[in-house]
């Protein structure tokens, strides 16, 4: 019987949307090539800094306003994926790297070029990557099974029938809006509750015990150290609260409710990875066009 | 011996068959009063008119292991392709049980209204309204 402390847990989240594309038009005046920012008609809360967004032209022409330097193979195509940063004026900057897109810095900024025609586009927020949620101090998850009373006349004892399962919980984390370790800052969930049109969904993996993590506290056998146990579900952010006190770290609390199935999963054997013929692993390219899913090129 | 009656003591019988999965029944008896107040009277006076009995019950839409579904049987008293005739009465017995003693009201009824459906997070049930016709057949309450 081991003793398990809270520091063996963590939270992974994947950005998520309802998958529906938004169609719009990029006009020549929307593209500022000198500042490498552009825009199109969208609600300012539709996109969030750090989103991986797929841009596709709807008339099968090329995305001419994105320089060839912004493509993994240097060829301008009709569809591509980039991380985005939304500046204070609602302009969009493109990045090949998640961390750079959170900061909106000039490092890693994808260059743009001026255009002379209107380009119709469809924009879709992709949900490819799962990241650790940064600086979490505690989380709570409640699962609840509703019951229906089916007691009938002449019964001596109440009878209940299993009904629907619901879940809800909260996350508390130290506030941050950038993170250089490829982790998701809590600021994203604060923005998510304000997101319009495509909702405030996220996919969460809430770990009771993380794999390959040997904390200073607690006791683990050799076979236990690589075990992982976690809840996995989709959730909707329902409430966001941030507290400020002069002598305390800024802390944000996020409340959520689950939607769909809640799974309590366990991984007690080492993970198996798909390898190439020569034994090398497959590498998922993070930037530019290439994706190992969706409408990638052959 | 003192006895408080609860739903645990309730029973509902249709045409002599005890119904299963009944969650409630109720019976209302009304007496129509005819006014006989006349000029010169200082107080209103009445004489009894016609009695009326009606009620309702709720049954879970439930198939037992043998395929019996009492709710279905009651629903089909109204939900049917052929019309309702004068002979389509139901002998209804509303009972409160006290050990071996039955406290009954028995009457002849027409099923006047049925409704059932399905809703998320709830058990499907059939609500039945009935209207008594004629005098009560038995009263032992």
Task: Decide which of A127 and B16 is more confident.
Answer: B16
With CA atoms as reference, the chain A residue closest to B25 would be: A153
For A23-27, the CB contacts below 8 A with 24+ separation are A23/A58, A23/A120, A23/A121, A23/A122, A23/A123, A24/A120, A24/A121, A24/A123, A25/A118, A25/A119, A25/A120, A25/A121, A26/A65, A26/A115, A26/A118, A26/A119, A26/A120, A26/A121, A27/A118
Show residues of chain B in contact with A164, CB under 8 Å: 120-121
Query: Is A164 at the interface with chain B, CB within 8 A?
Result: yes
Question: What is the per-residue pLDDT for A295?
Answer: 36
* % chain A with pLDDT above 90: 46
State the alpha helices, DSSP H only, in chain B.
Answer: 70-75
Phi, psi of B111 (to 5 degrees): -75, 115
Q: How many whole angstroms separate alpha carbon A212 and alpha carbon A195?
A: 35
Query: Is A156 at the interface with chain B, CB within 8 A?
Result: yes
Mean pLDDT of chain A: 85
Question: What is the per-residue pLDDT for A80?
Answer: 92
With CA atoms as reference, the chain A residue closest to B97 would be: A154
A30-69 pLDDT tens trace: 999 999 999 988 777 788 888 899 999 999 899 999 999 9
Question: What is the per-residue pLDDT for A30?
Answer: 92
pTM greater than 0.80 (yes/no): no
State the alpha helices, DSSP H only, in chain A.
Answer: 98-103, 187-192
Q: How far is B22 from chain A (nearest CA, A)?
A: 5
Q: How many whole angstroms separate alpha carbon B127 and alpha carbon A72?
A: 66
Question: What is the per-residue pLDDT for B47?
Answer: 96
Task: Decide which of A71 and A282 is more confident.
Answer: A71
Q: How many whole angstroms separate alpha carbon A128 and alpha carbon A293?
A: 9
Question: What is the per-residue pLDDT for A286?
Answer: 53
Buried b (16+ CB within 10 A) or exposed e, A16-35: bbeeebbebebeeebbeeee
A223: tokens are 């076979």
A196-248 pLDDT tens trace: 777 788 999 999 988 876 655 566 676 777 788 999 999 999 999 999 888 89
Q: How many whole angstroms separate alpha carbon A52 and alpha carbon A289?
A: 11
Q: How far is B127 from chain A (nearest CA, A)?
A: 14
Query: Is A157 at the interface with chain B, CB within 8 A?
Result: no
Q: How confident is the model at residue A292 (pLDDT cuts 50, 70, 90)?
A: very low
Question: What is the per-residue pLDDT for A5?
Answer: 79
ipTM of the complex: 0.76
Question: What is the per-residue pLDDT for A168?
Answer: 97
Question: What is the per-residue pLDDT for A137?
Answer: 92
Q: How many whole angstroms separate alpha carbon A246 and alpha carbon A255?
A: 24
B45-98 pLDDT tens trace: 999 999 999 999 999 999 888 888 899 999 999 999 998 899 999 999 999 999
A133-181 pLDDT tens trace: 999 999 999 999 999 999 999 898 999 999 999 999 999 999 988 876 7
* Nearest 10 degrees: Cα torsion A96, A102, A105, A110: 20
SS3 state of residue B29: strand
Query: Is A146 at the interface with chain B, CB within 8 A?
Result: yes
- Which of B10, B122, B123 lies at the smallest CB-CB distance from A153? B10
B46-60 and B125-132 strand pairing: antiparallel
For residue B114, the cross-strand partners are B128
Query: Is A165 at the interface with chain B, CB within 8 A?
Result: no
Mean pLDDT of chain B: 93
When mean pLDDT is compared over A21-25, A128-132, A236-240, A265-269, the highest value belongs to A236-240
CA A19 and chain centroid, separation: 13
Q: Is the pLDDT of residue A298 over 50?
A: no
What is chain B's percent helix, strand, coil content, to nearest 5?
5, 50, 45
Burial group, residue A57, by CB count within 10 angstroms (0-12, 13-18, 19+): middle
Task: Decide which of B108 and A193 is more confident.
Answer: B108
Do A153 and B123 lie within an 8 Å CB cutoff? no
Q: Is the pLDDT of residue B22 over 70?
A: yes
For residue A121, the cross-strand partners are A24, A57
Query: Is A161 at the interface with chain B, CB within 8 A?
Result: yes
Do B121 and A152 lie within an 8 Å CB cutoff? no
A203: tokens are 């996919």
DSSP sequence for A220-253: --TTTTT-EEEEEEEEEEEEEEEE--TTS--EEE
What is chain A's percent helix, strand, coil content, to nearest 5?
5, 40, 50
Question: What is the per-residue pLDDT for A26?
Answer: 92
Show residues of chain A in contact with B9, CB under 8 Å: 154
């Amino acid at each position: 019987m081991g003793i398990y402390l809270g520091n063996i847990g963590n939270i992974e989240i994947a950005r998520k949307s309802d998958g529906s594309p938004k169609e719009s038009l990029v006009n020549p005046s929307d593209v500022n090539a000198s500042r490498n920012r552009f825009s199109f008609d969208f609600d300012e809360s539709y996109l969030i800094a750090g989103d991986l967004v797929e841009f596709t032209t709807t008339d099968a022409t090329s995305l001419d306003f994105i320089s060839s330097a912004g493509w993994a193979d240097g060829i301008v195509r009709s569809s591509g994926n980039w991380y985005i940063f939304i500046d204070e004026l609602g302009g969009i900057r493109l990045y090949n790297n998640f961390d750079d897109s959170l900061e909106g810095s000039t490092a890693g900024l994808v260059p743009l070029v001026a255009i002379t025609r209107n380009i119709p586009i469809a924009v879709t927020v992709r949900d490819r990557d799962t990241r650790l949620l940064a600086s979490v101090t505690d989380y709570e998850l409640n699962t609840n099974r509703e019951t229906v009373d089916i007691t009938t006349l002449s019964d001596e004892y109440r009878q209940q029938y299993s009904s629907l399962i619901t879940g809800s919980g909260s996350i508390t984390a130290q506030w941050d809006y950038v993170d250089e370790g490829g982790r998701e800052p809590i600021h994203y969930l604060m923005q998510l509750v304000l997101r319009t049109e495509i909702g405030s969904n996220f996919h969460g993996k809430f770990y009771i015990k993380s794999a390959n993590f040997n904390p200073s506290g607690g006791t683990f056998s050799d076979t236990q150290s690589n075990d992982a146990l976690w809840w996995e579900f989709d959730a909707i952010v329902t409430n966001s609260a941030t507290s400020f006190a002069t002598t305390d770290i800024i802390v944000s609390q996020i409340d959520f409710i689950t939607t769909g199935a809640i799974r309590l999963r366990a991984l007690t054997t080492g993970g198996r990875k798909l390898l190439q013929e020569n034994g090398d692993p497959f590498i998922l390219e993070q930037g530019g066009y290439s994706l190992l899913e969706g409408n990638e090129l052959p | 011996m003192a006895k408080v009656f609860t739903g645990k003591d309730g029973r509902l019988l249709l045409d002599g068959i005890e119904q299963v999965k009944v969650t409630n029944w109720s019976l209302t008896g009304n007496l129509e009063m005819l006014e006989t107040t006349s000029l010169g009277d200082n107080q209103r006076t009445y004489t009894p008119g016609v009695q009326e009995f009606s009620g309702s019950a709720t049954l879970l839409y439930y198939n037992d292991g043998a395929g019996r579904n009492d709710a279905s049987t009651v629903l089909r008293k109204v939900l049917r392709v052929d019309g309702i005739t004068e002979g389509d009465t139901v002998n209804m017995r509303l009972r409160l049980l006290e050990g071996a003693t039955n406290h009954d009201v028995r009457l002849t009824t027409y099923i006047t209204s049925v409704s059932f459906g399905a809703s998320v997070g709830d058990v499907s049930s059939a609500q039945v309204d009935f209207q008594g016709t004629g005098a009560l057949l038995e009263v032992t309450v």
